[in-house]
A and B are shown apart, each in its own frame.
Chain A
Amino acid sequence: MIEFSRVTVTYPDAVRPVLSDVSLTIEEGELCLVAGPTGAGKSTLLGAINGLVPHFTGGRLSGRVVVGGFDTSLHPPRELSSVVGVVGQDPLSGFVTDTVEEELAYAMEQLAVPPDVMRKRVEETLDLLGVAELRNRPLRTLSGGQQQRVAIGSVLTAHPAVVVLDEPTSALDPTAAEDVLAAITRLVHDLGTTVIVAEHRMERVAQYADRVLYLPGDGSVRSGPPAEIFETSSIAPPIAELGRLAGWSPLPLSVRDARRVAGPLRSRLQKLSVVDRSLSVTGSALDVRGVVVRYGDVLAVRGVDLRVGPGEVVALMGRNGSGKSSLLWAVQGSGPRSAGKVDVGGADPASLKPRVARRRVGLVPQTPADLLYLDSVDAECAQADTESQVPAGTARDLLDRLAPGIAGEAHPGDLSEGQRLALVLAVQLASAPPVVLLDEPTRGLDYHAKRRFAATLRELASQGHAVVLATHDVEFVATVASRVVVMAEGEVVADGPTKEVVVASPAFAPQVAKILAPERWLTVDEVAEALA
């Protein structure tokens, strides 16, 4: 279906090619996972499939890419739209119209599909993706999972033989991600569509994949069955890492398969003790009482109490729209708060001037780039020092500890997601606030970057900072959080040590916990430490 022969892609001003001499074949009806660290060329590989690379992005592509019999060098993306459907990372920014039904019809209108056929296909697609009841809804009012499903539907109506998805579930909570993945597997199994997915959270997709294209970062691509690739790849889902540790062969990729071979490991671990991470907290760094946030008629947060001690890392989990972000902003004092009290070291940050509040509570927003506006990393760091009234060089020192080796003259816009997050973190931590709040910090980070970031958070905690992070990333929570607070509809529904809250929950349990239940192990590192 898709054939790359000796493909090399070089962008202008790049030192070396992003992809070099790549040859691979993807058969019809395969579900193919594209994996690799950030910046290894995953997006370039996906873009090359429908000709966006190089027709839209620029750069030079040598070799041949043939999709469904069309050579992409001869056909621009718009002519391939009936063969390849592309769904981007952020569905909202790819929407052209404003209601669900019109969006589904858009691609067909461009292809001049007759009106009666269009009508029929829209109805079929609404049912296929389970969005029929949303047909007249404005796209902006949909939840993230619904938007993603509509985006998939909007390319499906053109009946493409290939569907390409770039990080389809990275912004979604675990349940919404399941819905989207169910829709994707349905395409493969019921319609025989060839699907290519790039995903940082491989644990979500690995078990469904027929093939993995692994990009180690040197421009090459390794193609093979998942169990074989994850045997040796430097990044792998936790289930594969556990399998490698335990020496299972072939590597299991679903929780079910892993549990079937995990019996001996479970009985071995029974005799060992789990490292206890819950700590006895003295004092409180942050005390939140009865906080209510109201937007018009909507109650986003309904009377939340939360007390966080110094040295604690608390994960705030829950569906999209359950009030996590609103709570963080209300606690920091920059967001609206209708009622309730917040106490940070004896003062309410909302009543302080921003300059003073910043020294008590630091918040890293969901889109960290919002905080950056100067044209070099050094300028940002210097500005952060003046803002925080600390000696020059403080922010830069912090940055070097968080992510060493970022050039001072680099433009913040050119940094990778992980580097940009580190920069914003350095800017916000320059004033050494005792309370650090993070909103969805792991979006777009690969496993390596997440591991470094987790180490950073643990270091902050050990220095006595209280850290609260809102996130959907269950694996990250398992590695870093000492306590988990689950929110639903603006209320706290569970609050306790990570192990107690997470192991029992079907949505929030990490893979290792699911495999080793009823034993309370959360991460591969814990298991490795106990076995060693």
Chain B
Amino acid sequence: MRSRALHPGAWWAWALALAVAASRTTNPLLLGLIIAVAGFVVANRRSDAPWALAFRLYIYVGALIVASRVLFRILIGGEDGGHVLFTLPRIPLAAGLSLFGPASAEELLAGFYDGLRLATMVVCVGAANALANPKRLLKAVPGALYEVGTAVTVALTVAPQLVESVQRVRRARRLRAGRTRGLRAVKGIVVPVLEDAMDRSLRLAAAMDSRGYGRRAYLGTRLRVLIASCVLAGLVGVCVGVYGVLDGTSSWLGVPLLAAGLVVAVVGFVLGGRRVRRTAYRPDPWRWPETLVVAAGAGACALLFVTARIDPDRLFPSLSPLRWPEVSWVHALSVLVAALPAFVSPPVPEVAR
């Protein structure tokens, strides 16, 4: 297979499907498997670009989420009952609330399961971030979001320059025997860095202006209002719809609202895109590996949804009575489908140095 960068949209679709799959279980073994699958694909298909190195950061954030969930259960838990592991002195607060108290295994495990589920979803998003070039993704956004996309692109370009600027100024501070740490050094570092950043952004704005950025077709006020309300209403619909789907309890809030929201938002984007007159240079192609990657993610998610009816108990391991979590082969195999992109997607091109 010829090496090329996969369409960033494909990676995001795959990762989000995996995150949705993670949301449907609290089984720590299954969640661990999902993290492993995401990590495996990232290890096989990430480039050596700076954003690709951020995956580790998401793992840390995940660990932090799990730890804080468990700590909070210790802090404000303290319901009696269950297998008490240890007891901390109870600190009563107002209105019948209290801190600490006995910590039971059920309580801590519930915190752990819950935290792990959230952490897995965060890791899935991290995988998408590590695999997809954010700038290429922004190139694929619809015309109506073009300006937001440009702002993000510029921010991504400026951030490393800002870091460089801070390093340069800190080094220069030493020349004046100024402090390089602590509060008193802040002014000596912040002022030159901000002045530098300000100059730089003015120069960038002038450069963009003189290269034709912001040329657009004229649209009437009523049409503009219509576009804005379509996009807003559509996105709100999508958000509520996603909540409904993930919640899984109400029927009409789920799929129908999601679909309606998507339709309205797409109409808004298409109308809004008419304002922007521009073309894309060598857009990322969508070929069969992209379709396969999306199919792998969506397939794993769908399989987990379908098989949930077969063996629901193993997706949500019981806490009372306390029982060791078990994984059914059907579920494990469903999740493993999502590891396919490590083999079917094209290898990453070497960055020319």
- Our verdict on whether A and B bind, yes or no, reads yes
Point out residues on A near B: beta carbons under 8 Å: 50, 52, 55-56, 76-82, 84-86, 88, 90, 93-98, 101-102, 105-115, 118-119, 122, 136-138, 140-141, 154-155, 158, 329, 332, 334-335, 353-355, 357-358, 362-363, 365, 367, 369-374, 383-384, 387, 413, 427-428
A54 CB → nearest B CB, Å: 13
Complex interface: chain B residues within 8 A of A155 (CB): 211
Complex interface: chain B residues within 8 A of A113 (CB): 279
A79 CB → nearest B CB, Å: 7
30 contacts between A and B (CB under 8 A): A52-B206, A56-B205, A78-B210, A80-B210, A81-B211, A81-B212, A88-B203, A88-B206, A93-B199, A93-B203, A97-B135, A97-B157, A101-B282, A108-B279, A108-B281, A109-B281, A110-B212, A110-B215, A136-B351, A137-B352, A141-B353, A158-B212, A332-B175, A353-B177, A354-B178, A369-B192, A370-B172, A371-B175, A371-B176, A373-B187
Determine if A95 and B203 form an interchain contact, defined as CB atoms under 8 angstroms apart.
no
Which 8 A-B pairs give the minimum distances between C-beta atoms? A94-B207, A110-B212, A105-B281, A81-B212, A370-B172, A373-B191, A355-B177, A354-B177
Residue in B154, B171, B213 whose CB lies within 8 Å of A335: B171
Complex interface: chain A residues within 8 A of B214 (CB): 78
Q: With A and B bound together, what is the CA distance between A329 and B174 in angstroms?
A: 11
Determine if A371 and B279 form an interchain contact, defined as CB atoms under 8 angstroms apart.
no
Residue in A52, A114, A158, A334 whose CB lies within 8 Å of B279: A114
Determine if A136 and B211 form an interchain contact, defined as CB atoms under 8 angstroms apart.
no
Determine if A96 and B176 form an interchain contact, defined as CB atoms under 8 angstroms apart.
no
- Asked whether any CB of chain A lies closer than 8 Å to the CB of B274, the reply is no
Complex interface: chain B residues within 8 A of A107 (CB): 211-212
Determine if B281 and A96 form an interchain contact, defined as CB atoms under 8 angstroms apart.
no
Complex interface: chain A residues within 8 A of B277 (CB): 112
Q: Which residue of A lies closest to B214 (CB)?
A: A78
- Asked whether any CB of chain A lies closer than 8 Å to the CB of B188, the reply is yes
B223 CB → nearest A CB, Å: 20
Determine if B215 and A158 form an interchain contact, defined as CB atoms under 8 angstroms apart.
no
Complex interface: chain A residues within 8 A of B157 (CB): 95-98
Complex interface: chain B residues within 8 A of A86 (CB): 206-207, 210-211
Q: With A and B bound together, what is the CA distance between A118 and B280 in angstroms?
A: 9
Determine if A427 and B176 form an interchain contact, defined as CB atoms under 8 angstroms apart.
yes
- Number of residues on chain B facing chain A (CB within 8 A): 47
Complex interface: chain A residues within 8 A of B80 (CB): none
Determine if A111 and B203 form an interchain contact, defined as CB atoms under 8 angstroms apart.
no
Q: With A and B bound together, what is the CA distance between A56 and B211 in angstroms?
A: 13
Complex interface: chain B residues within 8 A of A140 (CB): 160
Contact bitstring B156-168, A, C-beta under 8 A = 1, else 0? 0100100000001
Q: A115-B279, A358-B176 are in contact. Are A88 and B209 (CB under 8 A)?
A: no
Contact bitstring B174-206, A, C-beta under 8 A = 1, else 0? 111110000000011101100110011001111
Q: Which residue of B lies closest to A87 (CB)?
A: B207
- Asked whether any CB of chain A lies closer than 8 Å to the CB of B333, the reply is no
A280 CB → nearest B CB, Å: 32
Determine if B177 and A111 form an interchain contact, defined as CB atoms under 8 angstroms apart.
no
Determine if B171 and A122 form an interchain contact, defined as CB atoms under 8 angstroms apart.
no
Residue in A52, A110, A384 whose CB lies within 8 Å of B278: A110
Determine if B280 and A77 form an interchain contact, defined as CB atoms under 8 angstroms apart.
no
Q: With A and B bound together, what is the CA distance between A162 and B149 in angstroms?
A: 30
Determine if A79 and B215 form an interchain contact, defined as CB atoms under 8 angstroms apart.
yes
- Asked whether any CB of chain A lies closer than 8 Å to the CB of B208, the reply is yes
Complex interface: chain B residues within 8 A of A115 (CB): 279-282
Q: With A and B bound together, what is the CA distance between A85 and B210 in angstroms?
A: 7
Determine if A98 and B208 form an interchain contact, defined as CB atoms under 8 angstroms apart.
no
Q: Which residue of A lies closest to B168 (CB)?
A: A370
Complex interface: chain A residues within 8 A of B189 (CB): 373
B151 CB → nearest A CB, Å: 11
Q: With A and B bound together, what is the CA distance between A97 and B189 in angstroms?
A: 28
Determine if A370 and B206 form an interchain contact, defined as CB atoms under 8 angstroms apart.
no
A77 CB → nearest B CB, Å: 5
Complex interface: chain A residues within 8 A of B175 (CB): 332, 334, 354, 358, 362-363, 365, 371, 428
Q: Which residue of B lies closest to A94 (CB)?
A: B207
Q: Which residue of A lies closest to B175 (CB)?
A: A363
Q: With A and B bound together, what is the CA distance between A118 and B209 in angstroms?
A: 20
Determine if B153 and A97 form an interchain contact, defined as CB atoms under 8 angstroms apart.
yes
Q: A112-B278, A112-B279 are in contact. Are A84 and B210 (CB under 8 A)?
A: yes
- Asked whether any CB of chain A lies closer than 8 Å to the CB of B169, the reply is yes
Determine if A413 and B278 form an interchain contact, defined as CB atoms under 8 angstroms apart.
no
Q: Which residue of B lies closest to A428 (CB)?
A: B175
Complex interface: chain B residues within 8 A of A111 (CB): 212, 215, 278
Complex interface: chain B residues within 8 A of A88 (CB): 203, 206-207
Q: Which residue of B lies closest to A164 (CB)?
A: B210
B51 CB → nearest A CB, Å: 11
Q: With A and B bound together, what is the CA distance between A138 and B353 in angstroms?
A: 8
**Looking at B174, B176, B187, B277, which has the most chain A CB atoms within 10 Å of its CB?**
B176
Determine if A118 and B279 form an interchain contact, defined as CB atoms under 8 angstroms apart.
yes
Determine if B174 and A50 form an interchain contact, defined as CB atoms under 8 angstroms apart.
no
Complex interface: chain A residues within 8 A of B204 (CB): 93-94, 96
Complex interface: chain A residues within 8 A of B173 (CB): 371
Interface residues of B in 90-133 (CB under 8 A from A): none
Q: With A and B bound together, what is the CA distance between A170 and B150 in angstroms?
A: 30
Q: With A and B bound together, what is the CA distance between A367 and B169 in angstroms?
A: 9
Q: With A and B bound together, what is the CA distance between A330 and B187 in angstroms?
A: 26
Residue in B192, B200, B282 whose CB lies within 8 Å of A373: B192
Complex interface: chain B residues within 8 A of A136 (CB): 351-352
Q: With A and B bound together, what is the CA distance between A460 and B214 in angstroms?
A: 52
Q: A96-B154, A98-B157, A334-B175 are in contact. Are A110 and B282 (CB under 8 A)?
A: no
Determine if B178 and A122 form an interchain contact, defined as CB atoms under 8 angstroms apart.
no
Q: With A and B bound together, what is the CA distance between A331 and B172 in angstroms?
A: 14
Determine if A93 and B207 form an interchain contact, defined as CB atoms under 8 angstroms apart.
yes
B178 CB → nearest A CB, Å: 7
A53 CB → nearest B CB, Å: 10
Q: With A and B bound together, what is the CA distance between A357 and B281 in angstroms?
A: 53
Q: Which residue of A lies closest to B281 (CB)?
A: A105
**Looking at B169, B196, B207, B213, which has the most chain A CB atoms within 10 Å of its CB?**
B207
B330 CB → nearest A CB, Å: 45
Q: With A and B bound together, what is the CA distance between A387 and B188 in angstroms?
A: 13
Determine if A369 and B196 form an interchain contact, defined as CB atoms under 8 angstroms apart.
yes
Complex interface: chain A residues within 8 A of B207 (CB): 86, 88, 93-96
Complex interface: chain A residues within 8 A of B353 (CB): 137, 141
Residue in B191, B209, B352 whose CB lies within 8 Å of A77: B209
A443 CB → nearest B CB, Å: 15
Determine if A109 and B135 form an interchain contact, defined as CB atoms under 8 angstroms apart.
no
Residue in A55, A96, A335 whose CB lies within 8 Å of B153: A96
Determine if A370 and B135 form an interchain contact, defined as CB atoms under 8 angstroms apart.
no
Q: With A and B bound together, what is the CA distance between A85 and B352 in angstroms?
A: 29
Determine if B211 and A110 form an interchain contact, defined as CB atoms under 8 angstroms apart.
yes
Q: Which residue of B lies closest to A413 (CB)?
A: B195
B314 CB → nearest A CB, Å: 47
Complex interface: chain B residues within 8 A of A108 (CB): 279, 281
Q: With A and B bound together, what is the CA distance between A94 and B211 in angstroms?
A: 10
Q: With A and B bound together, what is the CA distance between A375 and B214 in angstroms?
A: 36
Q: A106-B211, A428-B175 are in contact. Are A122 and B281 (CB under 8 A)?
A: yes
Q: Which residue of A lies closest to B158 (CB)?
A: A93
Q: With A and B bound together, what is the CA distance between A367 and B351 in angstroms?
A: 31
Determine if A387 and B168 form an interchain contact, defined as CB atoms under 8 angstroms apart.
no
